[in-house]
Structure 1
Amino acid sequence: MPRTSVEGKIFGVVLIAVVVGTAIPFLLQKWGANPLLAWSGGLLIALVAALALVRPVTRNLNRGLNSLEGGLLNFRDGDFSISLALDRKDQLGELAALYNEVGEILRRERAHIHQRELLLDTVIQSSPLALLLIDHSDHIIYANTSARHLLHDGKALQGHLLQQIYPHCPPELAQAIEQKQDGLTSYLDKEDSHTLHISNSTFVLNSQKHRLILLREMTRELTRAEVQVWKKVIRLISHELNNSLAPISSMAHSGKLLSEKMHSQQLAGVFDVIADRCRHLTDFTQGYARFAKLPAPSAEEVSWRKLVERLQPLQPFSLRGELPARPGYFDPAQLEQALLNLLKNAAESGSPEKEITLQIETDAHGQLLTVSDRGNGMSDNVLQQALLPFYSTKPQGVGLGLALCREIADAHGGQVRLHNRHGGGLQVSLWLPWPDTP
């Protein structure tokens, strides 16, 4: 159906009124009425007819314009949910249809933007990178989950002044944030050493200066890089020592045979000492070589009961708590070696044998094995370096036991943590995730 314009409707009403106003005077004159009265009466009747016919048109027009005005006011307030139900075949109907079309586009765009914001917020909240957005007055206007856990014990940060969170942070970290440092900063938290990379940047948003702080946990990455450097050094030293030890050992053996022919017991004893030290040094380098060439773990389901039964004859300990019903999942040879190292360290720490315990726990995220003792414990300085290769406080130690434990845990995607116990002693926790568990 073709549309009609508002102008056309009004023109039609006026035209009808003019026709009526012209026809009536002629009819009245034909019937003998006074011409002046006839034309006056005709004009009056035409005016009344025009008003009567124009009123519905203007009333509908005003109703439509009011609806359109209300919809536009809703747009101004950010409400795009209102649609106009104007079933008209004129220009106002076209405006209403255009309004509804624009409203639908705006609703779709808002839903799309909302979904993108949700996606972006989910990504940021799930990121291990701690993020803080600070406004020009040093108020925190955005902080993700990692930032809340790192800086405020998991509590909300939004709306707080930046200075208000410093008491909840390690002093070194608070100082680095306050001084707007860029780079690495280290601190000790609950006997664990942490290294963070801090990045500061400023930008203008809504004509106001803002500051973006990014904090990235670098401890694991730096530890892995450090271990790789140690492995390269160990491989190089082992190669050079083996190249030298092989001919020395061979020459010592030949010298001993020659001294026996010469019946020189003193010289034979010298060659025995040389051969013995060569064997000791060979064993020493082979131990480091095993650390440097640790194979990738071959994980499988393992019975906790069988693991405990294999360990107890090798190094006595007491089992603490019940064994989990769910089997473990790890490389049995590697984990057995790691636990033996921990149990041996506990025995050598001066702890009574009955105080050396192993506790095994599991949850939805992973497996936790805890070795505890009542030995001498460790100083803060030793705790920070205990997991490094070559580091040992024992007179005859080679510094491989705990380093190998950490390497095995890292290879499984887990971690090793050391804590001094209240009342004396040390507790070493070895955590391994389940497969496909972050």
Structure 2
Amino acid sequence: MRLRSLEGRLTLLLALAALTGALVYIGVTEWPLPQAFAWMQEAMGRHASVFQPSRVDIFVICALVLLPLCWWLGHIVMDPVKRLLRALESAVASYRDGDFSISIALNRRDELGDLIHMHNELGQTLREQRQNLAQRELLLDTVVQNTPVALVLTDAGDRVAYANIAARHLFNEGRTLNGLHFATLIADAPEALRKAIEGTEDALFSVEMDGSEETFHLSQRAFRLQGRPHRLQLFRRMTRELSRQEVAAWKRVIRVVSHELNNSLAPISSLAHSGAELARRGDVQRLPGVFATIGERARHLHGFIDGYARFAKLPAPRIAAIEWKPFLDALALHCRFQLQGNAPSQPGWFDPVQIEQVLINLIKNAHESGSAPEGVTLGLNVVGHELRIEVADRGPGMSEAVLAQALLPFYSTKRSGTGLGLALAREISEAHGGRIALANREDGGLRVTLVLPQSATAS
């Protein structure tokens, strides 16, 4: 127990009060008050009547002396506590009002001093955090206000709670949007824009602006802000980006088609010239072989062009309930695979022709990866209302660069590949409302996961 602590000071004051009480009691009962009364009686004569205190009188005298003393000692103990409480009350009121500049200027070396020191440190920390928060808010507001993406935040009543500069120019000719009803604001907007906003999903739409067609991507999310529902909508101009991607896609198509045409037309041209020379010299015995090779290259070229045509003219999926046993038996006639686990007990819900084509391509790729035949597996699992189809192999897998581009059309690492197999799988999965993902396996190989939504009745 340190001497300067509140406990130590209170112990000293209580000891002082006890000592004072003992001295008062001794003074009243032993000395000097009894001797004073005896002296007075001797001075006034033996027959004079002198006050002799009884036990009650002694108690009253002690109380009259000790009560003011106790009050004074209590005041000594509680005065700094009361002053500190008043200071803390003022500080808390300032914190409630958002003012963290209050510090308590009391220099003590006890527990109250420690509390004051901790309070002042808390105020300093809150001031620094508020300053940092204000700087971050300023930075965030500057970024949001100057981004080319139009941002609109609406509350539960569909009134605009926040809008940046791009949104003000897009919807209200640069004027503020705060407090306006968003549905009324876009009442005269193009129909494509209104339909996209009325939906709940992300959308891509085109509108006529300034005499030209402008394409936007709408991303919208619903969340709760300060306990109240809000909706955030981001409108991003995509015309330039789509144009760049379209040009890049056409360049890839032209490169692939040009490469394949050259690979087929150059031999055809050479063989046609050789056939003409053979015919001119009358060497007709070698002509059938020449024509057969020309026919083979022509069929290859036809298949190549047909693949692109099928990718461009992919029909909408005809989704139906599919029993697994006949589907897997038919798939096994086209490719070899090991079924992981058992097929789901409930039927699948997809277009059997399109999904079969996807699985044939994926299993073929798995075998071409260099994996052992028994390492090519097919897994079927129903998770919630989603069907997860996994095709895995034990090949070398893919590098990060290849994984990032493997699903793009016309991208292929094979010398004779068209780059349409995985792109077609992606197109079919997305047409079903699903998705496809590629990932390297931890113990070696590649896993391709096809996720398809399942009908509530089917699952």
- The normalised TM-score by structure 1 is 0.48
When normalised by structure 2's length, the TM-score is 0.46
